[in-house]
Amino acid sequence: MFFLPIALVTAGAAALLNFWLGLRVSRLRISEKILVGDGGNPRMIARMRAHLNFAEYAPLVLILIALIELARGTQAWLWGVAALFIISRILHAFGMDGWRLGRMIGIAITMLTMLGLAGYAVYLGYTGLNPMR
């Protein structure tokens, strides 16, 4: 049986973050009396996009974290990358509410995290399958 603590903790944190992002949308819906869609409300549009943006990036990053952990085991640097990803998504959410620097930092860290994990995954896959290396 495999145990992937980094992937498990990160997935749990991502689920909590997803809940928080959904809660922010719901609370704004109630306060602004928007039952369906965005109601043309810029704040609602921003919060909905922050939630969807998270849903677009999180699955791929979680899969990469789990596969790298499976291939190389639990390593300190992967804990750091996972924590950075979660922090970046929190910064992005606040940035979508108007804190421009948070949005810029959040998306930059997200992109760099995804790119770094993707590159390392390709490297691991290539070197693991190539008996000449």
Query: Residue 10 contacts by C-beta under 8 Å, 6 or more apart in sequence?
Result: 62, 65, 82, 85, 86
- 3-state DSSP: the chain helix, strand, coil percent, rounded to 5? 85, 0, 15
Distance CA 24, CA 55 (A): 15
Domains identified in the chain and CATH numbers: 5-126 (1.20.120.550)
Overall size of the chain counted in residues: 133
Model-level pTM greater than 0.75? yes
Q: Give the pLDDT confidence of 16-73 residue by residue, as tens digits.
A: 999 999 999 999 999 999 999 999 999 999 999 999 999 999 999 999 999 999 998 8
Q: Give the pLDDT confidence of 71-109 residue by residue, as tens digits.
A: 988 899 999 999 999 999 999 999 999 999 999 999 999
- Longest Cα separation, the chain: 63
